[in-house]
Amino acid sequence: MRMKKAQAEQFIGIAILVIALIGFVVYTKISGVQRAASTTVSISSEFKKEAVLISISSVPYITINMIPLDQLWGAYSCTGNDTIDYGSFRINVSSETNKKMDYLFGKGNWKIDLNGSKVLSMHTGYIASENQQVYDFLFSIPCDNTTIGRGKIYAK
């Protein structure tokens, strides 16, 4: 069966129409993705600022082996030793703090002061800046049940 000339022209017309429709849909999707990407970039920069504020206030309550960091910092303040022995396990306070803080804020973008003197940051390159966040917190010092320690977390 041979197609007649009119049928061939209709077939070609429908094919061109389908190709044009597919092209339009692809173009619409690509431009939508580009708009979404630019919106995502602006939202993510705002989210990062908010996330730093939220995460900096939760840092003392992050746990290592079910022990919150603020309790580890209290033991560290008592003993002055990096490694605290809990009988069945030991925790290196400086090392674990560095791992958690580097993960949250990036290497060199944070510093922790305990009682105004002990600095837990091993990254001496921390430089204060205008856009840094500061969080003041209190922590118990287990060697003296009546003493409360004061700490500050600085993060960019």
Question: Which region among 22-31, 34-43, 44-53, 89-98 has the lowest average model confidence (pLDDT)?
Answer: 44-53
Give domain status of residue 60, yes or no: yes
Give domain status of residue 106, yes or no: yes
Range of the domain at 129: 6-155
Concatenating the DSSP letter of every residue in 93-118 gives HHHHHHHHHHHHH-TTSEEEEETTTE
Give domain status of residue 36, yes or no: yes
| H/E run at residue 152 | strand 148-155
Any idea how long the chain is?
Answer: 156
Give domain status of residue 1, yes or no: no
CA distance 154 to 156: 7
What pTM does this model have? 0.61
Handedness of CA 49, 44, 58, 97 (dihedral sign): negative
Q: How many domains does the chain have?
A: 1
| H/E run at residue 55 | helix 5-58
CA distance 68 to 73: 9
Task: Please give the structure tokens belonging to residue 134.
Answer: 């500061």
Q: Which of 102, 127, 116 is nearest to 151 (CA)?
A: 116
Q: How does pLDDT run across 46-102, given as a tens digit for each residue?
A: 766 666 666 788 888 888 999 999 999 988 888 888 899 988 999 999 899 888 888
